[in-house]
Amino acid sequence: MSHSLKSFASDNNAPVHDAVFQAMLESNRGDAIGYGDDIHTMAAEKHFKEIFGKDARVFFMLTGTGANAAGLSHITRPYHAIVCSDKAHMENDECGAPEKITGCKLIRLPSEDGKIKPSQILPHLDSIGFQHHSQPKVVSVTQATELGTVYRPEEISEIAHFTREHDLYLHMDGARLANAAASLDLSLSEISGKAGVDLLSFGGTKNGAMAAEALIFFNQDLADGFEYTRKQSMQLMSKMRYISAQFNALFSGGLWLENARKANRMAKMLAERIEDIPSITITQQVETNGVFAMMPRAAIEKLRRRYFFYTWDARKNEVRLMTSYNTTEHDIDGFVEAIRESLRK
């Protein structure tokens, strides 16, 4: 299916940012040693250490699903269980990759806003030490969540404190960590490593890059041997310089933040422009770059003829409208006008 019109379906639908593509082009000169022993990768690793601390171990990955599955497989055994929210990408949108690759059971906790709390995790720890049950070993949170909400650093610290106390690891799916940091006006590390996360899947793709993801270990011991796990997980890119060059473009002049702020700002603008329409109900706090809204089914169908977006929950006529760094005010104007028209009889 091809859509020539503007997409509000996902930040995955945005093009690669021009400066990121330019950086790839600039790295496309002459030979460079493969698999990461090149100057671009060294520079990118330096950026990650500046951002996440000198003890952070970073491994570049190709997809968010790959980062989640390979990272989790490295820190678990197949008899373990991973606790996450029932809205988690790894639970709903990774085609069972985390279960297949780790062998672990996923324990899904009900969540209205995509976030989970220690009090929900605690009852699941009763099975620890009972040989007939999967053994909880990791708690995974998503920042920003699949519903566009964000964990405050103290909420992450509370979960981290809990995981430490119970000998569990804390994994963060940070496919949109940049959007969360921009929303909270905090650094990337204040809402991940500094708040107690052990393992972070960090996303560049939704922030203006392509196939540029990273796995960051804050717990050094956990990183041991991950280079072998990455290779076995088929996430080691031979022409690594093209991944690294993208991170260099995002991190050298603050482009990552500019992109995330723009995407968030466009979502807020969209929400503000539609929230007073009587037949529309916004269902989630608009904290990053997604707007979740209920609207009449007939209007959704009409709107879909002109714009690409996803229905999030068909039973509730709830749609998910995503913005990206590439969304403009003009796009919002056009979309809001189309929403209003779709609601007219």
Site for ligand PLP, rule CB under 6 A: 12, 63-65, 89, 142, 146, 173, 175, 205
Shortest distance (Å) from residue 324 CB to ligand PLP: 12
Nearer to ligand PLP (CB atom), residue 155 or residue 173: 173
Shortest distance (Å) from residue 130 CB to ligand PLP: 31
> Cα–Cα distance between 262 and 14 in angstroms, integer?
13
Is 277 in a helix, a strand, or coil? coil
Nearer to ligand PLP (CB atom), residue 210 or residue 223: 210
Shortest distance (Å) from residue 181 CB to ligand PLP: 15
Shortest distance (Å) from residue 213 CB to ligand PLP: 6
Shortest distance (Å) from residue 54 CB to ligand PLP: 27
CA 6 vs CA 22, 210, 271, 305: distances in Å: 23, 19, 17, 12
How many alpha carbons lie under 13 Å from residue 330 in its C-beta half-sphere?
Answer: 3
Shortest distance (Å) from residue 58 CB to ligand PLP: 17
- Phi, psi (rounded to 5 degrees) for 10: -165, 150
Nearer to ligand PLP (CB atom), residue 36 or residue 204: 204
Nearer to ligand PLP (CB atom), residue 80 or residue 89: 89
Nearest residue to ligand PLP, by Cβ distance, number only: 64
Nearer to ligand PLP (CB atom), residue 67 or residue 240: 67
Residue 90 in tokens: 């790894």
> Cα–Cα distance between 68 and 63 in angstroms, integer?
9
Closest to 56 in 3D by CA, of 210, 255, 260, 192 = 192
> Any idea what DSSP says for residue 308?
B
**3-class secondary structure per residue, 45-93:** HHHHHHHHCCCCEEEEECCHHHHHHHHHHHCCCCCEEEEEECCCHHHHC
Which amino acid, 69?
A: A
> Cα–Cα distance between 165 and 181 in angstroms, integer?
27
Shortest distance (Å) from residue 145 CB to ligand PLP: 8
Nearer to ligand PLP (CB atom), residue 63 or residue 229: 63
Nearer to ligand PLP (CB atom), residue 66 or residue 153: 66
